[in-house]
């Protein structure tokens, strides 16, 4: 079996690759793992230290490169994406090009190669914002940022390749991930690294925006279950089961590093800031047996400890 992992040098992709090569997923035991990654700012080979996939540096928008790495592939797990909302607000072009065009290039190559499964990794942000309750997979897509709009577009392309061509595609939509190796522009590693350096943390608006937190190990477990047993053409939400306001999360991080409330710096709210995300993940639980395993308090404590112990990883990634 050959598994192609796009974006496999990034945060979630590298965690999936390490877990796969470590033997955490017996159904894929012995698989040859090929990682395709452009190594933009958020991808680094240090994330793959200690494991040995076949690595190809290349762009998912390049049909020649994609055709080369797709040859002989049985399963595609597609993580590669521009993913930071703030960056998409100041410059949307790379998000549209990478997330939409790049996904189409991959889908076409997978179709021509005749792959057995294409897992397209997406986000709960494609649903928009929800005041109460949780989104099922059938909820209309109502993205509110250029990032989430580009991901929604790529979801629809993936669906179309299944409906039009019969490509065995599954789509996953996850809630907010956290864990080791997350690029320090995201809220948890940004806040932790700032606090470890004695810097204040920027809290958007009133801090009452709500997110559901999902440990990266649980996310990758859900993806693997979909890769193994998901039904072709289906969407699966993957949630963590811990909803917190951004202010509550900030206070937990302050406590974890022994800092006080004076380290919070209120900043103007993000444009189009979604108020609340919440996915209904009963479908993947019922069909595939998914359940998050990492307790949030324990996972957060271990994540903070990892950043405390791995300055040499994140210090070069933060602007001076």
Q: Mind telling me the catalytic residues? A: 124-125, 147
CB count within 10 Å of CB 138 equals 8
Nearest-angstrom CA–CA distance, 293 and 219: 10
DSSP label at residue 129: -
Residue 160: Cβ-neighbour burial (10 angstroms; 0-12, 13-18, 19+):
middle
227: Cβ contacts below 8 Å, ≥ 6 apart: 28, 75, 77, 117, 119, 170
273: Cβ contacts below 8 Å, ≥ 6 apart: 204, 205, 209
Cβ-contact 59, 43 below 8 angstroms: no
The conformational region for residue 178 under phi > 0 = left, psi -120 to 50 = alpha, else beta, is beta
Nearest-angstrom CA–CA distance, 211 and 222: 19
Element holding 85 (H helix, E strand): helix 85-90
Closest CA to 238 of 259, 216, 260: 216
Nearest-angstrom CA–CA distance, 257 and 67: 47
């Amino acid at each position: 079996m050959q598994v192609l992992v796009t974006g496999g040098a990034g945060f979630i992709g590298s965690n999936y690759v390490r877990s796969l090569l470590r033997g955490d997923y017996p159904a894929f035991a012995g698989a040859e793992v090929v990682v395709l990654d452009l190594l933009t700012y958020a991808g680094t080979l240090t994330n793959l230290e200690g494991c040995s996939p076949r690595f190809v540096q290349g762009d998912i928008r390049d049909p020649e490169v994609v055709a080369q790495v797709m040859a002989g592939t049985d399963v595609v797990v597609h993580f590669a994406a521009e993913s930071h909302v703030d960056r998409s607000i100041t410059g949307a072009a790379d998000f549209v090009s990478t997330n939409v065009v790049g996904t189409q290039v991959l889908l076409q190559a997978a179709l021509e190669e005749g792959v057995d499964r294409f897992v397209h990794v997406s986000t709960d942000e494609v649903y928009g914002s929800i005041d109460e309750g949780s989104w099922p997979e059938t909820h209309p897509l109502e993205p509110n940022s250029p990032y989430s709009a580009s991901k929604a577009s790529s979801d629809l392309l993936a669906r179309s390749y299944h409906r039009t061509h019969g490509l065995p595609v599954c789509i996953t939509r996850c809630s907010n991930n956290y864990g080791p190796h997350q690029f320090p522009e995201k809220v948890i590693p940004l806040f932790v690294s700032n606090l470890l350096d004695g810097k204040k943390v920027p809290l958007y608006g009133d801090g009452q925006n709500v997110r559901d937190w999902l440990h990266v190990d649980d996310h990758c477990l859900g993806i693997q279950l979909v890769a193994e047993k998901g039904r072709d053409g289906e969407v699966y939400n993957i949630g963590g089961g811990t909803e917190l306001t951004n202010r509550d999360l900030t206070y937990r991080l302050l406590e974890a590093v022994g800092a006080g409330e004076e380290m919070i710096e209120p900043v103007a709210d993000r444009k189009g800031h979604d108020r609340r995300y919440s996915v209904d993940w009963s479908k993947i639980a019922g069909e595939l047996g998914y359940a998050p395993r990492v307790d949030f308090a324990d996972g957060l404590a271990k994540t903070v400890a990892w950043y405390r112990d791995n300055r040499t990883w994140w210090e070069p990634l933060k602007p001076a």
